[in-house]
Chain A
Amino acid sequence: MSKLVGAVAIAGGGIAGIQSAIDLASSGLKVYLIESSTTIGGKMAQLDKTFPTLDCSMCTLSPKLAEVARHPNIELMTYSEITGITGEPGDFTVTVKNKATYVDYDKCTACELCVSKCPVKVPDEYNEGQNNRKAIYLAFPQAVPRVFTIDADHCLYLNKGKCGNCQKACENDAINFEDTDKEVDINVGSVILNTGFEPYDASNLEQYRIDHPNVVSSLEFERQLSSSGPFEGHVTLADGSHPRRIAWIQCVGSRSPEIGRNTCSSVCCMYATKEAMVAMEHDLDLETTIFNIDIRAFGKGFEEFYQKAKNEKGIRFINSRPSGVEVDPVTDNISLKYEAEDGSGIKREEFDMIVLSIGLTPSDSSKNLAKIAGVEMDDNDFVKTKIDHPLETSKPGIFVCGAMQAPKDIPDTVADASGAASKAASLLSSERGNLVTEKKYPPEKDMGDEIRTGVVVCRCGINIGNIVDVPDVVEYAKTLPHVVLAKEEVYACSTDSLEGIADLVREHNLNHMVVASCTPRTHEPLFRETLMEAGLNPYLFELANIREHCSWVHQNNKEEATKKAKDIIRMSVSRANLLQPLYQEKLEFNKDALVIGGGIAGMNAALDIAEKGFKVTLLEKESELGGMLLKFTHLQDGRTTKEVLEPIIQKVESNPNITVHIETELTEQEGSMGNFKGHIKGANVDEDIEFGVAIIATGANELEPEGYFSYGEYSNIITESQLEQKLDEGVDAKNVVFIQCAGGRNDERPYCSRACCTVAMKNAIRLKESDPDRNVTILYRDIRTFGVWEELYTKARELGVVFMRYTEDKEPEVSEKTVRIFDHLMNMDFEINYDLMVLSAPMVTPETNELLAPMFKVTLDANRFFLEAHIKLRPVECATDGVFLAGTSQAPKLVDESVSQASAAASRACTILSRDFLETIGNVSVVDPELCIGCGRCTLVCPYNAPELKEVTVETEEIVYITKKSEINPAVCKGCGCCAAECPTGAITARHFTTPQIMAVIKAYGEGI
């Protein structure tokens, strides 16, 4: 490679692009995030809740949106698309077309004045066309960038030359009808493709009658559930009433080879279950039914979620695929015809609303982008990758992640995204920090002894100014304690006003500042930066929210709104007067990594970190590297595990940055991120070790299914891994029966083990291909060959593998040569002869998890896998900083998923290792040792284990004694302040939200009422 450019272009601003961008930018690379719509956020921004925890989607997403918006190393290119990619790894030229927005992004303050004046109504894409937006619009309130765009297809002025109302309404001169499309070339070292998926267009399947107003797509239904949706969270029929009976039809546009959609979409079973559950929370009397082929609850916590939906919430799951929706020509009522599960024949049932669970399909723009990038696609139009290299496209330097590679859910997409970032960062590791510029601020000025507070009251155009009597409020503000100056601005956040605020600080020697305008959740960072430019500490700023909390919610009561604005400002000034400058402490730290577990995940994680120039110690407790894969002989793509393991073991062993210790375990461990200290003990080593980050890749094992289906009683009953060893030698059995979920999905192990259906399919195919006359039968509860592995299921059926469903309450009965199974559809027992029986047993956790978890102060879940920090958006991190998860230590997964997650863990770990210092947050809590009585309450309430009781010797005039005092580790504290509220002696100060500050606000409240 002749030249390396320390920048990466990311195509697609959904959750995948966002995660890749944050990882890369935090590792010191410049990022161009290119998104075709007006905002980043992607499909996740449209979701109401996320399964299986029913977290609010936007609540977890919007902090990430804000992080991208603020990140100095990320250049956002929205309303843009890639039109060309040339060059080679390390040095690509990407041509980007920026569409004209007709709004000057530097001038638009998103005040919304234009919106009410725009006469054009356009179906709102955000709500799936179920209500209208205007031709000038913000996609949704949390959109990033937070600026308006004119929809050129619908704008009256742009199409007919008349109107121009928005231009007249805009008080900041932001509308520019002369705007044009622009094309720019950017120079980058790597490209990441993640333009995601497109929901399947159900109008292609006429039998499902999406044209009927009460038949909706699952995404339309999702918007209906959302409180920010078209009906404020109330599910609504065409006549305005609310449904009593709702049915979901699964696999619309998925698992349908007859229309060329071969794959399973991986997410629909869970989102339908979630939608039914949330709808029932809104309306307790609702009856919900989900028609399905199989319920694919294969991810972490999914099976438990499904069982809860079925057994506790009363959602009806019917194993049948209705052929279509029937509409009564007279009443217009809708009904479904389906085959009853109990074998009683065809039934018809009427519903008020039918939701079509539409699948994830590759979008046209994704296909086009893949063509521009020149990367190979598979037969289903997903970008082609290999199981052991799931993030690498056919073109070096170009990586892929998320639903562009295969249908997948949010956590897998997020893990992929971090993984792809790791691959790009490895390629460009020598260029870290070269293209990023750090913003320099003037030194902080001397605060002086006198509190001098300034107040700026914003009119926000007419948003505040028309409701609140701003001049009156300004006069009032001047009377408040320590206020030396108060004035009004039309838009406090416009570029010239911000400069004006900085000038005020300088000219009037202000040392505290209050701006009364909008919410700190969006605007505080902007004003804080202004203070820094004026030489003031950013923590000396306070926002008084008189828009969202006042003028917008009291539009018909100007007098009360004005009084409330005064109260809010008085309370804010009282707080501002007590604010203290706070500093982020810089701490030196250890930049080595420890990886525990030498399976495919641990090895990949170690390599990804080592390739970025950091030292890694890799521990393996067995006598060779390879982990669980050593027990299996083949991958589901036909290659042998040896083919995959050998090159990576060779790479790990020859990498000078990796030290491998086999037959070695971690025996002791303490400390926190950047400063871990432990002890390792093994065959050839017995020493102390120090490291900055740790990756837990301790894997899982196949259960010995003792006690299930006569395993252990007869020698011809074996597990999948035993079958694979046998298959290499040749199997002569003529009748082979598989039983799925042998020891899984039961009370003892309520989880689904995710991989077993695909593994069984792979082995059934090998059995059939090696001897087509052999009878192969698979007894199953649900076939869960999700995503592209659905094609293996199709192939197995084509080869003549017989599938029979059983239920947990009527399990197959196994004797030495026969198995008895009850068939629900036929309503009778069958007896099947077998020579060989194969049990698909779940993955179970190693006992060492119980030792590791307390050492790292991390948590195990109910199934004893390691618990991630957030099930959707932080899938490879532990809640304890600096500790990461890779592979099956977190949950059962397939090889490609383990590899991708290993890269993800490495990426997240390297965002820490790439820093020059560890920086604390400013508002950490601190303990006053004089007041601390060592009770330890704080250590019990802190979710991050930041406070620690330490032994100290106290010397007073009378006595010397040893006691315990709490100390808060500033590197770990997140500033929630819970400890301060718990501390019985007031020894803990929650900085920036101190007791005196909060009490002053309460007192100021009382002064004005």
Chain B
Amino acid sequence: MAEEGWEPKIVAFCCNWCSYGGADTAGMGRFQQPASTRVIRVMCSGRIDPLHVYNAFLEGADAVLVTGCHIGDCHYVNGNEKTEVKYNFLEEMLQQLGLEPDRLHLNWISASEGERFANFINEVTAKVKELGPSPLKPEGVK
């Protein structure tokens, strides 16, 4: 369990066409979220290298979200299918390193699903708050 008042730090990788748009739509709809998450935009979720995710943990993220278009909706035909393949591998690797499953998520969010984006941030933040700081966090970072 984390210290009183501790807030999780989350990195969300978003693709330009769908999930980044979903985060935008959450804003337009004023779906309130905890200020836990920082978005990193790439053109396609297929650009997200497992090393990016791993490095985000090493920099102190308590959870990392990999997000993209729904399967079938990818702006680049099927980039998200490749994301899924890489993600599955990464998930297994990070769990072997002792990372709890709730710290890494793959989610498909369309540009119109603002509420879904906000709910997702709310849910992950709540879960990670229970888990406390990530075991991969560098020393001295809260």
Contact = CB atoms under 8 A, between A and B. Distances in A.
Contact of A1009 (B60, B111, B113): B60
B24 A521 contact: yes
A692 B74 CA distance: 27
A1002 B58 CA distance: 9
B70 A227 contact: no
B127 interface: no
A579 interface: no
B73 A976 contact: no
A54 B35 CA distance: 32
Contacts of A976: 43-44, 46-47, 75-76, 79
Interface in B81-98: 82, 86
A59 B17 contact: yes
Contact of B21 (A59, A226, A567, A1006): A59
Nearest to A58: B112
Interface string A556-581: 11001101100110010000000000
A861 B52 CA distance: 36
Contacts of A54: 72
A305 to B, nearest CB: 13
A1002 B55 contact: yes
Contacts of A1001: 40
Given A53-B72, A998-B40, A59 B24 contact: no
Given A549-B23, A978-B44, A555 B70 contact: no
A58 B111 contact: yes
A63 B24 CA distance: 15
Nearest to A978: B46
B42 interface: yes
A568 B27 CA distance: 15
The interface centre, meaning the residue of A233, A520, A977 with most chain B CB atoms within 10 A of its CB, is A977
A977 B42 CA distance: 9
Interface size class of B (residues with CB under 8 A): 35 or more
Given A228-B25, A521-B16, A552-B30, A975 B43 contact: yes
A999 interface: yes
Contacts of B114: 227-228
Contacts of B118: 553
Contacts of A545: 24, 39
A232 B72 CA distance: 23
A59 B86 contact: no
A555 B33 CA distance: 9
A978 B11 contact: no
A516 B40 CA distance: 15
A993 B44 CA distance: 10
A982 interface: yes
Given A943-B77, A976-B76, A999-B52, A56 B110 contact: yes
Contacts of A60: 73
Nearest to B21: A521
Nearest to B64: A1002
A998 B25 CA distance: 24
A59 B73 contact: yes
A1002 B31 contact: no
B111 A56 contact: yes
B141 interface: yes
Contacts of B56: 1002, 1005
B112 A59 contact: yes
A680 interface: no
Contacts of B42: 977, 993, 998
Contacts of B31: 553
Nearest to B118: A553
A577 to B, nearest CB: 16
A980 B70 CA distance: 21
Nearest to A1006: B59
A879 interface: yes
Interface in B22-69: 23-33, 35, 38-44, 46-49, 52, 55-56, 58-61, 69
Given A981-B48, A993-B47, A1009-B141, A553 B115 contact: no
Contacts of B116: 227
A995 B54 CA distance: 13
A990 interface: yes
A227 B35 contact: no
Interface string A951-990: 0000000000000000000000011111011100000001
A1002 B46 contact: no
B46 A941 contact: yes
Contacts of B72: 53-55
Contacts of A981: 46-49, 82, 86
Nearest to A869: B77
B24 A879 contact: no
Contacts of A227: 25, 112-116
A818 interface: no
B76 A1002 contact: no
Contacts of B28: 141, 548, 552
Contacts of A223: none
B30 A553 contact: yes
A990 B78 CA distance: 17
A977 B40 contact: no
Contacts of B21: 59, 62, 521
A857 interface: no
A943 to B, nearest CB: 4
A1003 interface: yes
Nearest to A554: B35
B32 A556 contact: yes
Interface string A494-537: 00000000000000000000000001110000000000000000
A998 B69 CA distance: 20
A127 interface: no
A547 interface: yes
Contacts of A1006: 58-60, 138, 141
A974 B76 contact: yes
Interface in A12-46: none
Contacts of A561: 35
A554 B18 contact: no
A999 B111 CA distance: 26
B112 A519 contact: no
Contacts of A556: 32
Nearest to B80: A978
B103 interface: no
A978 B82 contact: yes
A1002 B40 contact: yes
Nearest to B72: A53
Nearest to A998: B52
Given A55-B72, A1005-B59, 19 more contacts: A59-B18, A62-B111, A141-B28, A227-B116, A521-B24, A547-B27, A548-B27, A549-B23, A550-B35, A567-B38, A941-B46, A943-B77, A976-B44, A976-B76, A977-B42, A981-B46, A981-B86, A999-B55, A1002-B59
30 contacts: A56-B110, A56-B111, A59-B18, A59-B111, A62-B21, A227-B115, A228-B112, A233-B115, A519-B27, A520-B41, A545-B39, A548-B28, A549-B23, A549-B24, A550-B35, A552-B27, A571-B38, A923-B43, A943-B78, A976-B43, A976-B46, A978-B79, A981-B49, A981-B82, A990-B43, A1002-B11, A1002-B56, A1005-B11, A1005-B40, A1006-B60
Interface of A: 53-56, 58-60, 62-63, 141, 226-228, 232-233, 519-521, 545, 547-550, 552-557, 560-561, 563-564, 567-568, 571, 879, 923, 941, 943-944, 974-978, 980-982, 990, 993, 995, 998-999, 1001-1003, 1005-1006, 1009
A-B interface, 8 closest residue pairs, ranked by CB to CB distance from nearest: A1006-B59, A548-B27, A977-B47, A978-B46, A943-B77, A560-B35, A976-B44, A976-B76
